[in-house]
Amino acid sequence: MNLPKKQVEKLVKGCINNDRTAQETLYKLFHADMLRVCYNYLPDKELAKEAFNTGFLKVFLSVKSFDIEKGELGGWIRKIMIYTSIDLCRKELKFNTVDIDVQDQDDYFIAPSVLEKLYFEDILQKIRALPFATQTVFNLSVLDGFTHKEIGEQLNISEGTSRWHLAEAKRKLRELLEPSAGNAKSKERSENTK
């Protein structure tokens, strides 16, 4: 959400001065989008709400560090929400540490024709069907553009483990989105092991 620079300056200044009206306006402007960000990382609604509330508290406590010349306010708040959600994820997640060098593979490519038939909510539901750790890595990598190094640092896992979870997410999503493709892959694997 791109707000006019004057409005952002007024909101930020009001929040710095603990003006309740400015804080309420900021909260209402970003409530829906930021709650959705937390739900992307924390499928448990109570944990997502906890991350959201903690994230907004961090926003209000650190708003004086926001630099309007260096970035957009919504992006800055989104980043806080992502990191707050990741902090909660870390407490909740149990990663299988896999230190294999798994390259991002195009074997798990999902045909655009399949995606065109699905609505965003359908895709989100499929992503939420992934194991929690795999879903978190997928969200960080695909939805928010973090590198495997950054994901590893945030989740205290190796880059190889991050790569494995992303490859696993792509494989499982392909199976969920294109059931016939998943069956063909399983058949191919079993034939190769004979």
Domain 5-92 belongs to what topology? Rna Polymerase Sigma Factor; Chain: A (1.10.1740)
- For residue range 54-94, list pLDDT tens digits in order: 999 999 999 999 988 888 999 999 999 998 988 887 776 65
- 118 or 27: whose pLDDT is higher? 27
Residue ranges covered by each domain of the chain: 5-92, 106-192
Q: Which residues does 176 contact at the CB level (< 8 Å), separation at least 6?
A: 126, 129, 182
pTM (whole model) above 0.75: no
Domain 106-192 belongs to what topology? Arc Repressor Mutant, subunit A (1.10.10)
